[in-house]
Amino acid sequence: MPYPSGHRAETKRKIVQSARKLFNRHGFDRVSLDQIMSGAGLTRGGFYTYFESKSDLYAEVLGCFFTDPEWKSCWEGVEVDLASKNVGPQVVSAYLSRQHFEDVENSCPMIALPTDVTRSDQTAKQAFETVFTAMVQVLARSMKKSEPSTTAQAIAALCVGGMVVARALENRVHADELREACMSVALELGGWGKMNPARHHH
């Protein structure tokens, strides 16, 4: 019998979610298609109905909370409203938040995957660049500077790189200090100053 409409999109979404968690936890190279499909509750045979290759899948997995309206991981205490004029500092604060640091499986794949991308093929590199560029554009939108994209590039790199290094540090106190340092410098760079504690009320 024919599948109901929307079945295909739902199945694809399950594969992407499974892959995101596995890639984030283990890296692109170390995850097999069997693992991805079984994580989605599917058999390996169905993979090629949806994706041409692992790199093709990887390109879809690279979405993040500033590109994907369906991003389910709205961490408690972290808000990003893409329509807000204040979205830049929101993205910086969310990206470098403790919640993002701790939620490895649902984090932005740009943190877990840079080394895999550099070794990977063009599709993966283009996907990475697309997501990074999207982040830069979101940040630049809420800047009052004359060269917003230059500054936004540096801020995006501070966010991604800061989190990569923080995750690599063994000492949690040092990791937290690094995140805080990157956050305050990134907010200063954007002209958003230090976010005051009153930022939570609307």
Joined together, the tokens standing for residue 5 give: 């409409």
Shared domain check, 108 and 54: no
- For residue 189, the domain's CATH number is 1.10.357.10
For residue 130, pLDDT beyond 60: yes
Residues 101 and 189 in one domain: yes
Which CATH number do you get for residue 36?
1.10.10.60
* pLDDT grade for 124, boundaries at 50, 70 and 90: confident
**Vertex 36, ends 25 and 19: CA angle to 5°?**
50
Claim to verify: residue 114 and residue 149 sit in the same structural domain: yes
The answer to the question of residue 118 being in a domain is yes
pLDDT, the chain, mean: 87
Mean pLDDT across the stretch 164-172?
Answer: 95
Write down the pLDDT at residue 199: 43
In terms of residue numbers, what domain contains 46? Answer: 7-61
What pLDDT sits at residue 137?
A: 94
**How many Å separate Cα 152 from the centre of its chain?**
16
Using left for φ > 0, alpha for ψ between -120 and 50, and beta otherwise, residue 7 falls in: alpha
182 occurs within a structural domain: yes
- Which residue would you say has higher pLDDT here, 175 or 195? 175
Q: Please give the pLDDT value at position 64.
A: 84
Q: Which two tokens stand for residue 45?
A: 């045979």
How buried is residue 141: exposed, middle or buried, by Cβ count under 10 Å (0-12/13-18/19+)? middle
Amino acid 78: pLDDT = 85
Residue 79, domain member (yes or no): no
Q: Mean pLDDT over residues 61-81, rounded? A: 78
* 82 occurs within a structural domain: no
Q: Give the count of domains, the chain.
A: 2
187: pLDDT confidence band, cut at 50, 70 and 90?
Answer: very high
